[in-house]
Amino acid sequence: MSIWIIFKLLGSLALLMFGMKSMSEALQKMAGPQLRHVLGAMTTNRFTGMLTGMLVTASVQSSTATTVMTVSFVNAGLLTLAQAISVIMGANIGTTLTAWIMSAGMSFDITSAVYPAFFLGIILIYLKKYRYIGDFLFGLSFLLLGLGTLRMTGTEMHLGENQALLDFFASFDPDSFLTTLIFLFLGGIMTFCVQSSAAVMAITMILCSSGALPIYQGIALVMGENIGTTVTSNLAALSANTQARRAALAHMFFNVFGVVWILFVFRPFVDAVCGMVGYDVEMVKGSVSTSVFLANAAKLSFVLAAFHTCFNVVNTFILIWFIPQIERFVCWVIKPKKVDEEEDFRLHFITSGIMKTPELSVLEAQKEIQHFSERMQRMFGMVRELLNLSSSESNKKDNKAGDFNKLYSRIEKYEGISDNMELEIAKYLDSVSDAHLSDDTKAKIRAMLREISELESIGDACFNMARTISRKYNTKADHFVEKQYEHIHQMMELTDQSLTQMNKLMIGRKESFDVNRTFNIEHEINNYRNQLKAQNINDINNHEYTYGVGTIYMDLINECEKLGDYVVNVVEARMGLR
């Protein structure tokens, strides 16, 4: 076998995989936000969830993309794990469309048709307005060109006449159950190694269509691909959170269960699919004319695609009734990590292992920022609690002093967490921004970088207040008078209201958010700060408290006002106002 033919085979496989990736990314750029809304809205029960997963995956040509979106929604509380399992089942059906596209590419010479598509694609890319359609055309053209080249290379290799290859496959007993298991295992290993079930499916189609690989062994390879692709997602989810690992395990359980039951009815099921497509299983080379044999062999790629679809449809029909039981099983197998998440810095939604497109990465970053925002409000709640612990003489006793120091340490730890979160999210967004992004996504990334910077400033403001309170507590300074406590509590209440409004925006959709409420609270904070500033000077002059106490008091008031400014900056960034 010529070295050039091997390179041609590897190059066409690379072209096929690149085409699939480009096509999927372009489709997600065209319809990413709408698809996310569809996923969130159309999963009211297990059947609509299954249909949604099927349609979304067929649209974006990536079951991984659908799975990652689904897991993100589970993390955000928009979907239950049960709904996610139904969507993943649908994604398994939707992904079979890829096999049909490939079988069409294997059966017809479509390489001539791709060149006009390339030409049209480059025009659309330069028009900018339609560049995602151009990207899609390029991806589809690369996919079809890869398939066409693969088909021609397979013909050039004369696999059906390669005696060594024929002897290798003939060495396996076609009627043996062990043979089916061996090829199933081979399919899983190959898929895991090349990280693409599409590439392995293409190789299987080439081998079967050339007459080198018997149909039963070819279908065993396809079954192995189903398991191999779930091993990849489970390994990727090892670094992810509990719900992501449960969703990945449910995906594996679905495919492994399907392979187990199909092994019991393997021959009858394959024969039924072959009959449906019109492929004669009994026909052997030499028993009929060459043209009749080749016409029969040409149907093999359609047999593989039909089996892939029938297998997933039947498997879904069986398991869709047992979703609650599957949910209980994966929850029993994967238990949540016993760590205090409030005290433990770790990103909840951003996972480095799972492969995803930039559009999906932005969704994960948004969820992480939402979590960051909620954490900052909790930190401010601790500052309010710290003020209460320092508010009376009785709190100076040892037992209360221990509580005060413990709470101060927690706030200090939160400040470190906020610094780490800003750096990690910024680093992640920076890596995402290296990709080819839509203008809308670029604007979102710029806004998110500003959001995390302002959220970290909120953490700094909270820690500054905690340090001021601690300094006053530990230096045995004079206490605030009663009306100072009232004013500080009132100012903190207004600040907490502004944080609540900010988190409402982070959780909800900005179209339904009333931004004027945030601006009104900010004006109220500013006016109250100015009023207290003037009153503080009068109170010091009237000897109601010392100048030192008045300075600490105004430090807390001013820090609250700064925090309110940071909140407004976050809201403006989120709303796209500046």
What is the dotted CATH code of the domain comprising 358-575? 1.20.58.220
Q: How far, in Å, CA of 128 to CA of 126, rounded?
A: 5
- Write the DSSP symbol of residue 78: S
Whether the CB-CB separation of 359 and 68 falls below 8 Å is answered with no
Angle of helix 358-389 versus helix 439-474 axis, rounded to 10: 20
**pLDDT for the residue numbered 181:** 86
**pLDDT for the residue numbered 429:** 86
- Number of Cβ within a 10 Å radius of residue 439: 9
| pTM, to two decimals | 0.65
End-to-end CA distance of the chain: 63
Backbone dihedral angles phi then psi of residue 355, each to the nearest 5 degrees: -70, 135
Domain boundaries, the chain: 3-333, 358-575
Q: Which long-range contacts (CB under 8 A, 24 or more apart) does 293-297 make?
A: 293/211, 297/208, 297/209, 297/210, 297/211
- Number of Cβ within a 10 Å radius of residue 503: 16
What string of DSSP letters covers 75-94?
A: HTTSS-HHHHHHHHHHHHHH
pLDDT, tens digit only, all 578 positions of the chain: 567 777 877 787 788 778 777 776 776 677 655 655 666 565 567 777 788 778 777 766 566 666 666 766 665 556 678 888 888 888 888 878 877 877 776 666 667 778 888 888 888 888 877 888 888 888 888 877 877 777 777 666 666 566 666 666 667 777 778 888 888 888 888 877 766 677 777 777 777 777 777 788 888 888 888 788 777 667 766 666 677 778 878 888 988 898 888 888 888 888 888 888 887 767 666 566 666 766 777 677 788 888 888 988 999 889 888 888 998 998 898 887 655 444 455 666 665 544 455 666 777 788 889 889 999 999 999 999 999 888 754 445 445 567 888 899 999 999 988 888 899 889 888 887 766 666 777 888 899 999 999 999 999 999 999 999 988 888 766 778 889 999 999 999 999 999 999 999 888 777 778 889 999 999 999 999 999 999 999 999 998 888 988 999 999 999 999 999 999 999 999 988 65
Backbone dihedral angles phi then psi of residue 80, each to the nearest 5 degrees: -80, 165
Instruction: Please report where in the chains the tokens 């309170």 appear, as a residue.
Output: 469
